[in-house]
Structure 1
C-alpha cells in the first residue's frame, strides 16, 4: 500500500516511527512561528529606524523594500499559526527585545546578521512542517531573508567605501 506521507521525496524515514518525529518537532515549530511573528515585527521597527539613518534615497528605498517584505512575512506567519492552531498569536509572543541601531553602519551589520540568523530559525520551522503549502511558504520566506542579507551586504559595502 502506498503511503502518501512519503510522496515528493520527503526526507522522513520510511518506518512506522516516522510519525513520532511530528510528536516532538511539530509543537516546537508552532512555538517558533509565534516567536517569528514577534521577530518580524521587531525587524520592521528596526528597519524603520535604519531608513531614517540611511544617507541616500537609493539606500532608503532598498531598506524600505526589505521592511515591506517583513510586514508580509509577519502576516504569513500569523495566518499559518491561526490555520494550524485555530488561535491567534498571543500579543507579546517571542523573546527578542527591540533595540534601536546605534549608527547606520552598526545597524546594517546587525540587520545582515539578523537576516542570516532568521534563515537558520526558519529552516527549523520548515523542516518541522509537513510537505505542502505551509512548508513552501516558509521556504519562500527563507529565500527572501537570504535576498535581504545580500542587500544588506551591498549597503554595508557602500557605507564602508564612502567612509574611506
Structure 2
C-alpha cells in the first residue's frame, strides 16, 4: 500500500531534506572507497571481517539513500567525493571510528527532523549501523595498541 509523501515544499523543508540525503550518499560513497582501501591493510582475518561487515552495510546505505533521493527528487543523484587520506592502518582505523560517529550524529538528527516514515526508516537503519561500526572500529583501534 502506497502512502502519500508529505509535501516538504509547502513546509519549506524539502531542500534541507534533499541536501541531507545527498550528504548521506556522498558520505557512504566515501566510506565504501575508504574501507575498500583500509581492508587491504588489515593484519588478520578478524580485522578483515569487521571491516567487510561495515563495507557491506555502507553499500546497503548508499543504495537506500540513492533510492530515497530519486523517489523524492525524481532525479538520479550526481556526486563526487574526496577520498579519505591515511598512511597507516592505525590512522585509518581512527579516521573510520571518527567518521562513523559523525555519520551517526548526522543521521540521527535527520531521523528526528522528519516525520515521514519512509525517510525515518532509511535514516534509522543507517544511524544504528553507524554506531555499531564505530564500536567495531574502536575495538580494532585499541586492539592494535595492545
TM bucket (normalised to shorter chain) is: 0.7 to 0.9
2:36 aligns with 48
Q: Does 1:105 align with 2:93?
A: no
Match in the other structure for 1:144 = 129
Counterpart of 2:70 (choices 56, 71, 82) is: 82
Q: Please give the alpha-carbon distance, in whole angstroms, between the structure 2 residues aligned to 1:22 and 1:98.
A: 35
Q: Compute the TM-score of the two structures, normalised by the length of structure 2.
A: 0.87
* In structure 1, distance between residues paired with 2:86 and 2:9: 43
Aligned to 1:129: 114
RMSD, aligned α-carbons: 1.8
Query: Residue 3 of structure 2 corresponds to which residue in structure 1?
Result: none
In structure 1, the residue matched to 2:99 is 114
Partner Cα distance (2:19, 2:91) in 1: 30
Larger Cα-atom Rg: 1
- Give the conservation status (yes or no) of the 8 Å contact 1:125–1:138: yes
Kept after mapping to 2: 8 A contact 1:26/1:128: no
Q: What residue number does 2:11 align with? A: 22
Change (3 A) 1:20 1:81: closer
| Structure 1 residue 62 corresponds to structure 2 residue 50 | yes
Q: Distance in 1 between matches of 2:109 and 2:16?
A: 9
Which consecutive aligned stretches of 4+ in structure 1 deviate over 6 angstroms post-superposition? none
Cα distance per residue 1:26-83 (max 9 Å; x no partner): 3212112112111101101110111011100110111011001000000000000111
SS in 2 for 1:146: helix
Cα shift readout 1:115-144 (whole Å, capped 9, x = no counterpart): 000012112322332231221221111000
TM-score (norm 1): 0.78
Give the structure 2 partner of residue 37 of structure 1. Answer: 25
